[in-house]
Structure 1
Amino acid sequence: MHHIVTIARNMRCALLAATIAAVASLSPAGTALVSPAQAASNIKVVVNDQAITTLDVQSRARLLQLAMHLSPGAAAKAAQDELIDEQVRLQEGARRGVVVSEDAVVAALTSIASRSKMTLPQFERALGQGGVPIKTFKDRIRAQMVWGRIIRAKIQQDLKAESADLIQQMRNREKNADAVTASDYMLQRVVFAVQRSASPADVNRRKAEAEALRGKFRNCSEGLALAKGLREVAIVNIGRKLASEVPPGLKDELEKTIEGHLTPPQRSELGFEMYAVCSKIEVTGEAAVAAGLDAEALDKRGEETSKKLTQELRQKANIIYR
């Protein structure tokens, strides 16, 4: 599902963006602030027989300092917590058979470097100047990729179970499951711009122009082409929307609008807005329930699922602090 892929991607975007900004501010040439050869490498934490060393914590802390501007003490604590989270997540990935190849990690790093307007070698040197070994960054990316796949699978599993439960409830209430329906729309928004300083006469004239287009609009192919030729008219591709994803007022108008036509013009901050219903599909029964569940649930699931599953894994793990 596209939404589930988006969830997993968004889970790692915020800190990654901050890291890119921090690294981009460094010169690709320079002397590392922390020398791995000089750093202590004693065991700091053991997670299910997997050691986290003081060097691991120091390197990750420096990365977090660069990305989040934390104090050394706060960065060290955050780094240790993050590394423990990563260990339980990676171990869960190994248990599930989730594998991220070295090529996939390098491809991700190359993409990140390009966003910083650097080649991968330049990016590695810039990280080194900031006191962050490239291995630290690679380990973090690998862990995020593994965890993203686990979360996607977990969300799909949970939604499938909930969908089945809702369908059963529906069957218990309804003699005929096909009595439940939902609409699936392909929409384009058409905006007739109105200046804030416009006189009442100008406002009325723009509304009349919008109504005139609505009267001529018979299909999206020709109608949108006609709209593009009008003065100060913007067209915004809304794309596919389920009825459950649109506001109640608009939902009522969409239900009354014939496919290939426009909804009545509504006043907004921008001017007068109408929605072109380029396609309208009615789905029934189980498909309607499953579609509604996906639309309402997916955007809220990623962060909650990640937090809950990580807590469960930490509680089950044997974590020893040295």
Structure 2
Amino acid sequence: MKKIKNSSLALCIASLMGVTFLHSNAFCAPRAQQAGVSAQTAVAVIVNGNAITNYDIQRRAAFLKLQRKTGNLTAQAKDELIEEMLKRVEMKKRNIDVSDDEVNKAFMGFAERNHMTVAQLTDMLGQAGVTADHFKNYIRVQMGWGRLVSARYRAEGGIISEQEAVQRMLKNGGVKPTANEYELQQVIFVVPSDRRNAILGKRKQDAELFRSKFSGCSNLKQQATTMLDVTVRNLGRVLEPQLPEEWEKAIKATPVGRMTPPQETARGVEAIAVCNIKKVSDDKVAQLVFTIQDNEKSGDKKAEDLSEKYVKELRSKARIENP
């Protein structure tokens, strides 16, 4: 295997949702000498009842060094982890989940984009004192927080008025925008948190078998009764621009009468049944499409501002204790 030299790499955060490597001749220090297990696991700060240890801070400081940050990296690392914990708590509260599979795929994609194998990336992060687990946890929060901000952005962005939508349509020659409307049902293969490690693999197999035998939405609930701990939820009719981000690609690739590939979630293993798809064109669609078009024109700046505002709100309500 080709050896990856720390001296040839540095990390840079490219955007709210992405990270990439920059080639550099900057020296990346080797893993710091451990000061002992008790010192590492000592709690440095408690955020809403959740502990952040000195070891967590050491790894984040190493991550910042890999990004070629300067200044008091320990203080910066502590502040970043406090903010990250606030985001984690809020994601859990809002049922925003990023599966291990999604994180592993992102980790693999990151390695490939930087001409590395997963093993090489893991080795490099370990040598730098960051560790692959720490980086994966960072990826998980970035992905989940992006989804949460996106959902809040759509909610707070506001829908343009019906009158404005009519004016837009008149400018377009009276043509109303169209969108696909999906009729969906959600199938959940429940996995209790205390048994997740033991039965998750089996539940994935159950979901794949269920999907292979799926014969349409009219028989879905009856099919679900043949298996233990399977719940069916009717998601109703959802316009394409309103599809959940984590399911959008899979749903759009699934024909009517079929199910999406199963995904790991906080509840267990889930899949979406696509019961019907039809083109719709009405005032509601027009308002939604025109609103999305407006948001896309100024989306990045608005999303960044909303993220900062959101974090400030969480900090103002947080209980942050230094033992």
Q: 1:53 maps to what in 2?
A: 53
Counterparts of residues 225-236 of structure 1 (less than 5 Å): none
TM-score of the pair, normalised by structure 2: 0.54
Cα distance in 1 for residues equivalent to 2:113 and 2:34: 26
Q: Give the root-mean-square deviation of aligned CA atoms.
A: 3.2
- Preserved CA contact (<8 Å) 1:23 1:127: no
Assess, with a 3 A threshold, how the Cα gap between structure 1 residues 153 and 34 changes in structure 2: closer, same or farther. Answer: farther
Give the C-alpha shift of residue 156 in structure 1: 1.8
Assess, with a 3 A threshold, how the Cα gap between structure 1 residues 24 and 41 changes in structure 2: closer, same or farther. Answer: farther
- Preserved CA contact (<8 Å) 1:151 1:305: yes
Give the C-alpha shift of residue 82 in structure 1: 1.2
Matched, 1:141 2:122: no
The residue matched to 1:52 in structure 2 has which SS? strand
Matched, 1:163 2:159: yes
- Preserved CA contact (<8 Å) 2:43 2:54: yes
Amino acid at match of 1:32: R
Give the C-alpha shift of residue 107 in structure 1: 0.9
- Preserved CA contact (<8 Å) 1:180 1:285: no
Amino acid at match of 1:81: D
- Preserved CA contact (<8 Å) 1:12 1:144: yes
Q: 2:16 maps to what in 1?
A: 11
Cα distance in 2 for residues equivalent to 1:65 and 1:291: 43
Cα distance in 1 for residues equivalent to 2:295 and 2:62: 37
Cα distance in 1 for residues equivalent to 2:32 and 2:292: 48
Task: Compare the two structures and name the one with the higher helix fraction.
Answer: 1
- Preserved CA contact (<8 Å) 2:57 2:77: yes
Q: 2:302 maps to what in 1?
A: 301
Cα distance in 1 for residues equivalent to 2:33 and 2:132: 13
Cα distance in 1 for residues equivalent to 2:146 and 2:117: 26
Cα distance in 1 for residues equivalent to 2:23 and 2:56: 20
The percent of aligned pairs where both chains have the same amino acid is 29
The residue matched to 1:44 in structure 2 has which SS? strand
- Preserved CA contact (<8 Å) 1:47 1:87: yes
Amino acid at match of 2:49: D
Among 96, 99, 107, the residue aligned to 1:98: 96
The residue matched to 2:31 in structure 1 has which SS? coil
Cα distance in 1 for residues equivalent to 2:25 and 2:90: 34
Cα distance in 2 for residues equivalent to 1:145 and 1:45: 24
Q: 2:255 maps to what in 1?
A: none
Which structure's relative contact order is higher, taking Cα pairs within 8 Å and 6+ residues apart? 1
Q: 2:31 maps to what in 1?
A: 32
Q: 2:180 maps to what in 1?
A: none
Cα distance in 1 for residues equivalent to 2:46 and 2:127: 29
Q: What are the Cα deviations for residues 69-124 of structure 1, in whole angstroms up to 9, with x where unaligned?
A: 323x1x22221111111111111111111111111111111111112211111101
Give the C-alpha shift of residue 68 in structure 1: 3.2
- Preserved CA contact (<8 Å) 1:32 1:128: yes
Give the C-alpha shift of residue 285 in structure 1: 6.1
The residue matched to 1:132 in structure 2 has which SS? coil
The residue matched to 2:51 in structure 1 has which SS? strand
- Preserved CA contact (<8 Å) 2:34 2:40: no
Counterparts of residues 67-216 of structure 1 (less than 5 Å): 67-71=67-71, 73=72, 75-159=73-157, 162-163=158-159, 166-167=161-162, 170=163, 178-181=166-169, 182-183=171-172
Listed as ranges, the gaps of 5+ residues in structure 2 are 1-13, 176-280
- Preserved CA contact (<8 Å) 1:45 1:51: yes
Listed as ranges, the gaps of 5+ residues in structure 1 are 1-8, 172-176, 186-282
Q: When the two structures are aligned, how many residues end up with a matched partner?
A: 199
